[in-house]
Amino acid sequence: MDTQNAKSIEHVWPFLKVEEMIGQGSSGEVYRVRREGMGRTYYSAVKVIRIPKGEAEIREMRNDGMDEQSIHNYFQGLVEQLSAEIDLMESLKSAPNIVCIEDFSVRKHKIKPSWIAHIRMELLESLNNYRERRGMSEDDVLRLGIDLCTALEYCDRVNVIHRDIKPANIFVTEFGDFKLGDFSVSRKTWMTSVRSTKGTYAYMAPEVARGLSYDKTIDLYSLGLVMYRLLNENRLPFLPDPPAPIQYEDNQTALSRRLAGESITRPMYGSRELCDVVLKACAFRPEDRFSSASQMREALLECRDKTERTERIEKKLHFSDDTAVENPYRLSTGSGPEDPVQRRGGTILETSLRKSSGPLSEAPILPGIRKGPAAKKTDLHAPEGGRKRKDDWSESTFRPAGDLT
């Protein structure tokens, strides 16, 4: 791939070949890379971050009256913040349900006040791509909640609040496990008395948006909103119900109503128990939410256990003429009108407790989500190696980010 960032990746890791850019955001670009070895192909993702983003950013700071030393100090602070993010990801690399970092490099330009960082991570599918490709069932939403609560439990262990939980920062493995990524705006719990509104307003807790002090329950609030959206035909609270279109002013009105503390109604889909968990996570007052990720995970596990018990009851209906039907919702016996539970001269041993549109072994897909072809599975582990080349950047740094100067 012939772009400046792609070439920089292949310079840092000559054994990698850049295939395509798979993501782009305010902090940088993400590329899919591959490595050939032992007759196999291995894939990873590499995030490229440039500080500053370009010459235009420096010119704007000069126009604002900043001298060269002030500009250098400002960007040096951003590098230290990035260093802290890498340190955090390194400390959590063995934790389940958190995106794993494989390697990194941070280099300073020899002359200019400019840095370039490369972070190599496991290659995962974004949540948005996943749900567009195959759809999401209520069981998927339940598993997402459990997996993300597990990730937040590990964040609790290192006293970190993520502060930016949203669909774009949630990823899915080839085995269907959900992982939390992008800790660029995370913060230590002892720093939460400092007022900061970093994050995404659409998923932000009211106390953060108001610039008040906050605690770790803001992550549970954001997670609750993600789950709400998945259970509500991809719409956040207070937006018009489908099929009504969403106008710009609808988003602003919905955000204002939520941040003002108006009671959130139940999502359109989901069991009563699951909806109760989601609404508790999204409570306006922090004291009304779950007190910890562990407590929310336990509540979600109870929902899953109850669902599994219900499915065992629903699994088969057995009739006196030895006709057994797997996971039936509408039974056709060949005579008379079809009915979800139709007696045929005997006693029904087990009966269905709820209606659905398909067998429970293949959970119904929530409306509003397209299905598509299956994703290609990849091997995400790549060995390291390669030689260094000389350029305008200082030596590539392959040591803990805290050692940056």
Q: What is the pLDDT of residues 183-227, one digit of tens each?
A: 887 877 645 444 445 678 999 999 999 999 999 999 999 999 999
pLDDT at 307: 82
> In whole angstroms, what is the distance from residue 188 CA to residue 196 CA?
12
Mean pLDDT of the region 39-45: 96
Three-class DSSP labels, the chain:
CCCHHHHHHHHHCCCCEEEEEEEECCCCEEEEEEEEECCEEEEEEEEEEEECCCHHHHHHHHHCCCCHHHHHHHHHHHHHHHHHHHHHHHHCCCCCCECCEEEEEEEEECCCCCEEEEEEECCCEEHHHHHHHHCCEHHHHHHHHHHHHHHHHHHHHCCEECCCCCHHHEEECCCCCEEECCCCCCEEHHHCCCCCCCCCHHHCCHHHHCCCCCCCHHHHHHHHHHHHHHHCCCCCCCCCCCCCCCCHHHHHHHHHHHHCCCCCCCCCCCCHHHHHHHHHHCCCCHHHCCCCHHHHHHHHHHHHHHHHHHHHHHCEEECCCCCEEECCCCECCCCCCCECCCCCCCCCCCCCCCCCCCCCCCCCECCCCCCCCCCCCCCCCCCCCCCCCCCCECCCCCCCHHHCC
- Give the pLDDT band of residue 25 (cuts 50, 70, 90): confident
261: in domain: yes
pLDDT of residue 326: 44
Note whether residue 97 is domain-resident: yes
Residues 143 and 240 in one domain: yes
Q: Domain end: 123, 146, 164, which one? A: 123
State which of 62, 95, 123 marks the end of a domain: 123
192 and 284 belong to one structural domain: yes
Read off the pLDDT band of 390 (50, 70, 90).
low
Residue 279 and residue 158 share a domain: yes
Q: Are residues 174 and 61 in the same domain?
A: no
Q: What are phi and psi of 394, to 5 degrees?
A: -70, 175
Per the domain annotation, does 377 fall within a domain? no
Considering the domain architecture, whether residues 101 and 177 belong to the same structural domain is answered as: no
* Band of pLDDT at residue 364, cut at 50, 70 and 90: low
Q: Are residues 118 and 23 in the same domain?
A: yes
What is the dihedral sign for C-alpha 56, 61, 66, 71? negative
Contact of 256 with 248, CB cutoff 8 Å: no
Q: What is the mean pLDDT of the chain?
A: 81
pLDDT value of residue 210: 93
What is d(CA 396, CA 106) in angstroms, rounded to the nearest whole number?
Answer: 6
**pLDDT given at position 54:** 86
Q: Where does a domain end: 69, 103, 123? A: 123
Count of domains in the chain? 3
- Rounded to two decimals, the pTM is 0.77
pLDDT above 70 for 110 = yes
pLDDT confidence of 384, banded at 50, 70, 90?
very low
Place of tokens 């489908």: 242
With respect to residue 374, please indicate whether it lies within any of the assigned structural domains. Answer: no
Of 160 and 353, the structure prediction assigns the larger pLDDT to: 160
Does 358 have pLDDT greater than 70?
no
pLDDT of residue 203: 97
Same domain, residue pair 221 and 252: yes
Does any domain span residue 322?
yes
CATH number of the domain residue 49 falls in: 3.30.200.20
51 plus 101 within the same structural domain: yes
80 in a domain, yes or no?
yes
The average pLDDT across 119-125 equals 96
Q: What is the CATH number of the domain that holds 163?
A: 1.10.510.10
d(C-alpha 251, C-alpha 246), whole Å:
7
Name the nearest CA neighbour of 215 among 282, 286, 153. Answer: 286
Note whether residue 66 is domain-resident: yes
Residue 153 lies in a domain: yes
Range of the domain at 109: 4-123
293-352 per-position pLDDT tens digit: 999 999 999 999 988 887 777 654 444 444 444 443 333 334 444 444 433 333 333 333
pLDDT over 80 at 125, yes or no: yes
Q: Is the pLDDT of residue 280 over 50?
A: yes
Residue position matching structure tokens 């307003």: 201
